[in-house]
Every structure is written in C-alpha cells, then in structure tokens.
Structure 1
Amino acid sequence: MNWLNYSEACARNQAVILAELQPLLATTTRVLEIGSGSGQHAVHFAAALPHLRWQPTDLAAHLPDLGANLLRFGSDNIDPPLALDVTQEPWPAGPVDAIYTANTLHIMGWPQAVALLQGAGRLLEPGGLLCIYGPFRYAGRYTSASNAEFDRWLQQRDPCSAIRDVEAIRDQAHACGFALERDISMPANNQLLVWRKAV
C-alpha cells in the first residue's frame, strides 16, 4: 500500500534525524510529536525507539490521512493520532518527557510559533526535551542561498510564514523555561535545536 501525502523530504531526512534523536531520547518514555504530517517520522522513529511511546498530532483536517498511514505502517508503540491546534488550550496529551516537531515553525505564523513554545513549556515535565527541526536564520542571516530563496517562496505563498530567527526563538523559549542545550547542523541547510525544560 502507498502512503497518503507521502513526503520525499521526510524520507530523505529521517535517518539523519534519528541518529541524533536516539541518544537524546534514550531514557525518554513518552514523546509528543507536533505536526506529524504523513506520519513518516513517527513510524520510522518509533520503530527504532521501542522503549518509548510516540504520540502523533496534527490539525484536525489532516488526521484522516495521518491515521490511515499509521494503521498501515505504524508499530505498537505509536498511539492513535490526536487533533492538536497549538493555540487551543488545553493540549490533548500529557504528561510527556519530550516533544518533537519538524518543519513547522516556518509554516505557521509567529503567534502560533510562540503558542507552540508556551504550550510545550506547560506540558513538558521538568528536565524534558523540546526538539525542533527545520531551517533557521542567525542574526537575520540565512545559512544558505537556497534557504533565502525558500523563505521568499514561503512569504509569497503566505505572508505569515517565514524562516524564523534562532535568537527570536531563543528569547521566547527562555521565557517559557527552556535553555538551549544543543544546536546541531543537519544536511540540506537545516538545524536540530534541542531545548531542556528547567528542573
């Protein structure tokens, strides 16, 4: 059977992301994924991390295809997907000791990005991890010409979308009780930002 809403980008990046997540999540018991999309990351990561439970989420409109993919390809440690709008409280999951999200902050508007960080700060247990994957800018500068072009395309499609500045994310994350633990350069001009909730 074929995946619904299959993502070539997910297929390309899942192995390198997993290599970084495996040591980070070695003692984790429950992960909430925000913006699971097709569910490809959930399926790949959960199969390689059988010691934890993976909770996929997405906007309600995306759940039928996500749920169908997880039924076809998922493992026993993936919970049924939940509808999650980061701006709506309370979030329908928890407690968790890690939150993962990929390629979401540049798609959602800035108020939604702030709401994601605030919600993560409320939901995560002390010492928990927030792992954010995607493209970012540093001091207003892109990490590549292709990211600059991608950002122009994003904003033409939706003026609320944009590649975010790490410094702006850092300030909001600090206000929500997070400290940046690692900033990992990834292939294709992406980063994996790892934040830890204060104990």
Structure 2
Amino acid sequence: MQPWPQALNESEIDAVFTANTLHIMSQAMVNAFFNQIGKQISQDAALIIYGPFNYKGRYTSESNESFDQWLKENNPESGIRDIEWIETLVTEQGFKLQHDFAMPANNRLLHFSR
C-alpha cells in the first residue's frame, strides 16, 4: 500500500467521495482507507460512499450476488461489503450515517457526517 497523501492542514479536507471502490479493495485496504480518513479530514466533514452493499450478510439482488461471485473469482480479497461492517469502521472514526439512498443498478449512496 502507498502512503496516504498528507494534507497541509486537517481542516483543508471537508468532504471525501468514493465510488465503486470498497468492493474491489481487500479488507485490509478498506480498514486502512477509513483509518486514514479519520486522521485526515476535518471534524465537520462529510463522507459519501457509492457502490453495492449487502445488508445483514444478504445480497440486495441476484445481480449483486453474481457480481460478488465474479469479483471473488478475479480477486479472492475483493467482494461486496456488508453495510454493518462499513458502519462500524466509519463509526470508529467519529462518523454517523445520515442517509442511505437506493440508487440505480442495485447500488447505494451512503452519506456520513461527523
């Protein structure tokens, strides 16, 4: 893993948006991502995450199940993440889920804030 880019001042970063990334990263990389976000962005920052998620270990659609199988065949460390695990990681960094929006193609848009 490469080092996280350092902001000159924590208050310079007031929002982070990531789309279609968590399911192609390893669990270790997802952990590192959230740990660094917690260190790098301001105390009143927003975190927006777009992509597919499972709820309580269950797929939200047959297409997401097929997509997850394809991901794991290509990289066993990847896969659709459970929203509960993501919420735990984000909560550890002081964020709280504000909105969980359904999006096209069985994706979600998650809005967290501190």
Provide TM-score, normalisation by structure 2. Answer: 0.92
* Alignment RMSD: 1.3
Gaps of at least 5 residues in structure 2 are none
Residue of structure 2 equivalent to 1:115: 32
Q: Kindly indicate whether residue 10 of structure 2 is the aligned counterpart of residue 96 of structure 1.
A: no
Provide TM-score, normalisation by structure 1. Answer: 0.54
Residue of structure 1 equivalent to 2:60: 143
Q: RCO greater where, 1 or 2, for CA within 8 Å and sep 6 or more?
A: 2
Q: Which has the larger radius of gyration?
A: 1
Aligned equivalents of 1:114 and 1:145: distance in 2? 27
Q: String of CA shifts for 1:61-98, please: whole Å, max 9, x gaps.
A: xxxxxxxxxxxxxxxxxxxxxxxx6x624x23462100
The SS at the match of 1:117 is: helix
The SS at the match of 2:28 is: helix
Aligned equivalents of 1:92 and 1:132: distance in 2? 21
Residue of structure 1 equivalent to 2:98: 181
Q: String of CA shifts for 1:100-119, please: whole Å, max 9, x gaps.
A: 00000000101111111111
Gaps of at least 5 residues in structure 1 are 1-84
Aligned equivalents of 1:103 and 1:152: distance in 2? 16
Q: 4+ runs of 1 displaced by more than 4 Å?
A: none
Percentage of pairs with the same residue: 44
Residue of structure 2 equivalent to 1:71: none
